[in-house]
A = this chain, B = another copy of it.
Amino acid sequence: MPADTIRSRDILADCETPCLILDETRMQQNIDRLRRHLAPLGVTLRPHMKTAKSIDVARRQLDGGCGPATVSTLKEASELFAAGVGDILYAVGIAPQRLERVQALRAAGCDLTVVLDSVEQARAVVAAGADAPIPVLLEIDCDGHRSGLVPDDERIAAIGRILVDGGAVLRGVMTHAGESYGASGGPALEAFAERERAAAVEAAENLRHAGLPCPVVSVGSTPTAHFARDLAGVTEVRAGVYVFFDLVMAGIGVCSVQDIALSVLTTVIGHQRDKGWIIVDAGWMALSRDRGTQGQAVDQGYGLVCDAEGTPLADLIVIQANQEHGIIAPRPGSGGVLPECPVGTRLRILPNHACSTAAQFDAYTVIPRGAAGLRTWPRFRGW
């Protein structure tokens, strides 16, 4: 048994459960991997803070610096700005009611950019920026996932014109290949990455042909960021869950189960031996209700079960989750064998979706890279 394995089990022995364990070594490997992949492609990485919502994690993702960063809420923007991150993209379509908070952050010195895809929003941004112009990216729809204008939509130039004529700062375009989560394997993910790139570049050309500026061409999702082979015309890439990875990402081949840096430590509280069930104290309040692997080739239930050292127990998953109870059993049809786990045994559960599982906790319990003991890194939440 390797030395760090013994250490991991031992230093977790006193943790109250359920608790959220972060393996810093794996996290750093994930951070390094994407940085290495993107370096030769000539783009800037703008990590998405919505996954970790942690200043400690952000410092490592941002290489100790002040950005650039992506956020999903103004709460994230405020927390990061207070911690010294100055270049922030708020990547959710702007609601007019939120422009006052945007302007307060900008007035305090935060270089905050907003995103929009409609004439209504553009007019609101122009109006709110009468005295202090607001920077904007136009949201482009590259795959029918949710928001955005398709790359050849005439409204792209029309909205760009409203912004520029109204005095806003048109910074460019952004898109997110959210449908790539439904693809699987290298060729399909490479195709998604190229589709995402092509859509953003086409929309940028659309703006430039109309005589409008487009210095920023922003793309990204964790799958496409890792499988992009050519990013010609793109200036920056966004990705979030790459920092921790999860079973959904493993299921489509973006990472391996061994790359997953996040797990929920839990304690066995009972058994139904006739049914082959182990009952643990991690229910959906700890694991979240996310069933992101349900539609994948391998359904991981509410999470894949590991021993206290973090080694997966083959084919053992959380088959059901109540609020504070999880039921562990072999994956149906797998022939997996239930290990002997007396009441009090510690196990770890790998999450389907790191963003949603992490959101159930107020802090990470960090197994650090060095020989030091556990650390606690707080998370922020809310809007």
Could you write out 14 A-B pairs with CB less than 8 Å apart?
A16-B383, A17-B383, A18-B383, A72-B323, A95-B268, A95-B269, A96-B343, A96-B344, A97-B267, A118-B270, A146-B320, A146-B327, A289-B290, A361-B382
Q: A322, B289: Cβ atoms under 8 Å?
A: no
User: Hey, which chain B residues are within 8 Å of A144, CB to CB?
Assistant: 275
The answer to the question of A291 belonging to the interface, with a C-beta cut-off of 8 Å to chain B, is yes
CA A98 to CA B360, docked complex, whole Å: 21
User: Hey, which chain B residues are within 8 Å of A275, CB to CB?
Assistant: 144
Interface-located stretch among A23-31, A184-192, A277-285: A277-285
User: Hey, which chain B residues are within 8 Å of A382, CB to CB?
Assistant: 361-362
Residues A50 and B324 in contact in the complex (CB < 8 Å), given A288-B289, A343-B121:
yes
| 0/1 string, A127-160, CB within 8 A of B gives 1 | 0000000000000010010110000000000000
User: Hey, which chain B residues are within 8 Å of A323, CB to CB?
Assistant: 50, 72, 355-356
- CB neighbors of B among A333-353 (8 A): 342-344
How many residues on the A side are at the interface (Cβ–Cβ under 8 A)?
A: 58
Q: B322, A118: Cβ atoms under 8 Å?
A: no
| 0/1 string, A56-88, CB within 8 A of B gives 1 | 000000000000000011000000000000000
The answer to the question of A359 belonging to the interface, with a C-beta cut-off of 8 Å to chain B, is yes
Residues A362 and B381 in contact in the complex (CB < 8 Å), given A94-B269, A95-B17:
yes
**Closest 5 interchain pairs by CB?**
A289-B289, A93-B269, A72-B324, A120-B343, A95-B267
| 0/1 string, A7-30, CB within 8 A of B gives 1 | 000000000111100000000000
Q: A279, B97: Cβ atoms under 8 Å?
A: no
Q: B289, A95: Cβ atoms under 8 Å?
A: no
The answer to the question of A195 belonging to the interface, with a C-beta cut-off of 8 Å to chain B, is no
* Chain A interface residues toward B at CB < 8 A: 16-19, 50, 72-73, 92-98, 117-118, 120-121, 124, 141, 144, 146-147, 178, 267-272, 275, 277, 279, 281, 284-285, 288-291, 320, 322-325, 327, 342-344, 355-356, 359-362, 381-383
User: Hey, which chain B residues are within 8 Å of A289, CB to CB?
Assistant: 288-291, 356
Closest Cβ of chain B: how far from A220's Cβ, in Å? 14
The winner among A118, A324, A355, A356 for most chain B CB atoms within 10 A is A324
CA A301 to CA B11, docked complex, whole Å: 42
CA A95 to CA B18, docked complex, whole Å: 11
Shortest Cβ distance from A74 into B: residue: B16
Residues A322 and B356 in contact in the complex (CB < 8 Å), given A95-B17, A383-B18:
no
User: Hey, which chain B residues are within 8 Å of A268, CB to CB?
Assistant: 95
CA A322 to CA B382, docked complex, whole Å: 16
Closest Cβ of chain B: how far from A268's Cβ, in Å? 8
Q: A322, B146: Cβ atoms under 8 Å?
A: yes
Residues A279 and B96 in contact in the complex (CB < 8 Å), given A50-B324, A383-B18:
no
Closest Cβ of chain B: how far from A249's Cβ, in Å? 15
User: Hey, which chain B residues are within 8 Å of A272, CB to CB?
Assistant: 141, 146-147
User: Hey, which chain B residues are within 8 Å of A290, CB to CB?
Assistant: 284, 289
Residues A285 and B359 in contact in the complex (CB < 8 Å), given A50-B323, A120-B342, A178-B322:
yes
User: Hey, which chain B residues are within 8 Å of A269, CB to CB?
Assistant: 92-95, 121, 147
Closest Cβ of chain B: how far from A43's Cβ, in Å? 23
